[in-house]
Amino acid sequence: MAIKTDADCYASSFNFRQFGFNETVTMLLILLIFLSVPSNYIVLSQQISTFRKLNLPTTSVGPEPIDFDALGRGPYTGISDGRIVRYDKRTSSFVDFAFASQNRSKAVCDGTNSPALRPVCGRPLGIEFFHRRNLLFIADAFAGLCVVGPNGGLATQLATTAEGISLRFLNGLSVDQHTGDVYFTDYSSRFLQTQIQQAIAANDSTGRLLKYDYRTKNVTVLLLRGLSGANGVAISSDGTYLLFAESIANRTQRFWLRGARAFTSEVVANFQGMPRNIRRTPSGDFLVGVSVQRPGAPSIVPTAIRINGAGQILQTLPLDHYYNTTVISEFLQRGSRYYAGSAQANFVGVFNW
C-alpha cells in the first residue's frame, strides 16, 4: 500500500464546509502538524489476530536467530546452550539439529544457560540456509563461522580469523542466495560475547563487517571498520547492498556491494534504542528487532520495525504486551506469519495478521 504524503491528497479527503470556523482551524492545525512529521517516521498500524508460543526444550532460553530450510521445515533456531534446534510439527516440539562447538558435550551443555560454559558449548547467534545446497551457515559467537549439511550434527568450521585478527564475537549473518557468499558481523574485536555489557559500557567500536566467498573459501574484511556493536545483517533482494545494524551506536547502515558506490557506506536509520538482527521480507523490505527505550522510564519496549532499503520507517510494532521487557532479537516474516526471536525468552513467538 502506497503512503501518500502530498498535502493536496490529505486536504482533499476533508470537506471543510461541513465544519464551523473553529473546527476548520483545528482540523487545519492537526493537518499541518501531521505533515510536519518527516516521512521516515510514518507508522502503519496493524492488528495482531493471533499469538502463540513454540516452547523450547526444558530449561533452554535465547532463541535469537530463526530460519526455515528449502523444504519449509522449521523454524530452526540457535539457543543459549549451543544447540541449533528445529521445530517438528508432528510432535509440536523442538528437536536437536546441529551444533558448532567441537568441544560441546550434551551431558555438560544441554539445557544450561551459564555464560561461563559458552566458550565450551558455543552460542549460535546468526543462522541462514543457502537453499540451493540446503546448507546451514552459522555465526557462532565462540566457534566462528561454520556450516552444516541437511543432516545436521557437528558443523564444519570455516573461519576463526580474518586478516590475522581473531573472530571474537560473531553475531549476524546473511547468505546471498545467488552465489552462496556469506556476509557476517564480528560484534567486537576486543570483547567476547560474555563481556557484552563491558563492550557497551566502553562504547566499543572495534566491530567488523566480513565476507566469506563461497567459491574461493576466503574471508575478507569489507572496506568498513570501526563498527560500534556490529550486529544483524541482511542482503537486498537484488544483491546490490547490505543493511547492517550497530547496536551500540543505535543505527543501521547501508553498505553498497555493486554499482558506482560499491564499497562505500552510509547511515540510513537511527533508532531510539538498540537494533539487533535484520531480516529481509518477501516484499524486499527489512524487519529489525529493536529494544526501544521508553521515554522517561528505565524500561525498554521490544519492538519490530519495518524499514525499506533507504532506512525509511514503514511500520512500528511494539511487542511488550507479549514479551514485557524481554529483548526482541529477530523478527522474520514467512507468508502471513511472523516469528520472533529473543535473547531471553524460552519460546519462539508466532504472530498472525
Q: Tens digit of pLDDT for each residue in 302-333? A: 999 999 999 999 999 999 989 986 889 999 99
Tens digits of residue pLDDT in 218-240 = 999 996 778 999 999 999 999 99
**CATH number of the 67-290 domain:** 2.120.10.30
Give, for 295, the enclosing helix (H) or strand (E). Answer: none
Q: Give the pLDDT of residue 225.
A: 78
pTM across the whole model? 0.86
Q: Give the pLDDT of residue 26.
A: 42
Ordered by start, the domain boundaries in the chain are 1-37, 67-290
Report the percentage of the chain scoring pLDDT > 70.
85
- Mean of the per-residue pLDDT values for the chain? 88
Radius of gyration of the chain (CA): 21
CA dihedral over 138, 142, 144, 149, signed as positive or negative? negative
Strand pairing class (93-99; 153-154): parallel
Cis peptide before 75 (omega within 30 of 0): yes
